[in-house]
Amino acid sequence: MLETLQTKLQEIPSRKDREVVIIYPFNTETKEIFLIQEYIHSYARKFWKFVSGGVDKLDKDILTHAIEELAEEVSMESSNFYHLYSSERVFGNRPIHYFIAENPVIMENPPENPDEDYITDAKWVNETEFQKMLDAKELQWDQGTMCALQVFRRYR
């Protein structure tokens, strides 16, 4: 049994090598995306970001990871989950899988969040507010924000 556990642990990718899921909770009526501000211990500061998490369970597919991250991080669930985009491992970057969770609702009995980092704020923003956050450098300009802009574009 110990050998089986050691073999399983060797198969789990390290934190820096594992794939990532990013989820965009999106209200299709108000055309708003949900952002969280999280205190990241390793940087000792707060960041506005999207719901996200590392793929760390070998027995689950990418969509299941995305659904679980939405539940663990912000206690939300959605009956309409869509795959938006997946990036490849390029220049040492790890693959990232982007999902839209349409019209999420707050869960009655959410699972516990195992993360060390914690959410300090959260808000729904429309495309204009999102762009202002980008311009003010409250959001990092990266592949995640470009995909978020595609989400807004999709629902115009």
**Domain positions in the chain:** 17-154
Distance CA 144, CA 138 (A): 14
Distance CA 60, CA 49 (A): 24
Could you give the C-alpha distances from 116 to 39, 82, 122, in angstroms and in order?
A: 9, 28, 17
Q: Which CATH number fits domain 17-154: 3.40.50.2300, 1.10.3720.10, 3.90.79.10, 3.30.470.20?
A: 3.90.79.10
pTM of the complete model: 0.86
**Residue 9: its pLDDT value, please?**
41
β-strand partners of 47: 38
Distance CA 62, CA 74 (A): 18
Is 105's pLDDT higher than 90?
A: yes
Angle in degrees, 0-180, between the axes of helices 143-154 and 127-135, rounded to the nearest 10: 160
Residue 92: band (very low, low, confident or very high) from pLDDT cuts 50, 70, 90: low
Residue 72: in which H helix or E strand, if any? Answer: helix 62-74
Indicate the range of 71-75, 113-117, 139-143 predicted with least confidence: 113-117
